[in-house]
A and B are shown apart, each in its own frame.
Chain A
Amino acid sequence: MPSVFTPYEVFARWAVERVFGLDPATRLGSSLEFFFYDVPKVLTLLVAVSFVVGTLQTWLQPEAVRRILGGRRLFFGNIAAALIGIFTPFCSCSAVPLFIGFLKGGVPLGVTFSYLISAPMVNEVAVALLWGLFGWKTALTYIGFGVALAIAGGVVIGLLKLEKWVEPFVWEVPAGAGELESMPLRARLREGWRSTREIIGKVWPYIVGGIAAGAFIHGYVPADLVMRWAGPDNPFAVPVAVILGVPLYANIAGVLPITEALAGKGMPLGTVLAFTMAVTALSAPEMIILRNVLRPPLLAVFIGVMTAGIIAVGYLFNFVL
């Protein structure tokens, strides 16, 4: 059936047969076809998604987000924060100033957490990769579960009233307010293009390397090996995937193509989703940075709520849906 991605299939087939003179049915041929199909497709999608998000985010600069979320109540505030998080990029290096700025700007703690969960988890790199490698339905499912988890996590932290476990200095910093810049549309599009170039420049080696590794698995690793370790019959596959995902921060681009190859050999999709969420939302460097503003009990609650939530998403998807 022809689709938007048909040209990529034709290109991959042409590369394998004509350029390398190989039969796509051989191991090497099928690995190469996998590689030459996925690399251009994923890079194209990443350019498209990054450009759209990069342009939209010019309307949702952190200063604007702070004003939108300031003084919001539980639930509605959390929903707004989680949805806004879809369209805003996030660097763990900014987690602390953002956290302080939001709290000082009157954003409730639970609402701030919904944003802090959603923004890094639902990011353009993860979404573009899931779309390219697993299809748009999986990408949308990921966004849906990510937003739900961000709302739930923030509401739980809000209801527990854990403000006492925020490092006291946070409340004492006299936080200045930034200004909102107004931009013409051309400037916004230019901004979108700039952030696209920045993202591609940073992640393309991971994507190419990850797809190369995935291509190797695709051609050479036997399916029963994957089924035994990560298949639906292993009840611990989800928590193990989550634990493995935590130290892999920023390498989602390199890791997802490998999981695609594993999924092709029988690893269930819920395990893939849980793993992706663990990599993006529970990164070790971000936890270390957040320790600057969160006292250990609050950090532990945050990590505990997220871990439980992500594992629940994985099980829900594998065994219920």
Chain B
Amino acid sequence: MKIQILGSGCARCNQLRENAEAAARELGLQYEIEKITDFREIARMGALVTPALAVDGKLKLVGKVAGPEEIKPLLEAS
């Protein structure tokens, strides 16, 4: 699966990426990380605030740095 982190490379986005990777590793998922920094793309995907997390183009989480435990069910459901 493709885990996408939406945001302009701020500290909170990096934290979200680390948490998402930790969640994916603990679940033993095959994944790749994509950072989406272009705000046109961010708007197109429907995120109004960053950081946001999407899986395979579908928005899962908007505007908060969720912890690994909170991200796991989002990844499992995808």
Contacts and interface: CB of A to CB of B under 8 A. Distances in A.
B10 interface: yes
B27 interface: no
A240 interface: no
A93 B7 contact: yes
A63 B65 contact: no
B46 interface: yes
Interface stretch (A8-16, A150-158, A173-181, A216-224): A173-181
Interface residues of A, number: 27
A97 B65 contact: no
B42 to A, nearest CB: 5
A173 B40 contact: yes
Interface in A195-227: 195, 198
Given A93-B50, A94-B48, A97-B49, A63 B43 contact: no
B46 A93 contact: no
Contact of A97 (B10, B12, B43): B43
Contact of B42 (A61, A97, A174): A97
A303 B75 CA distance: 43
A175 B59 contact: no
Interface of B: 7-8, 10, 12, 39-40, 42-50, 59, 62-65
- The 3 A-B pairs with the shortest beta carbon distances in the complex, nearest first, are A176-B46, A62-B48, A100-B43
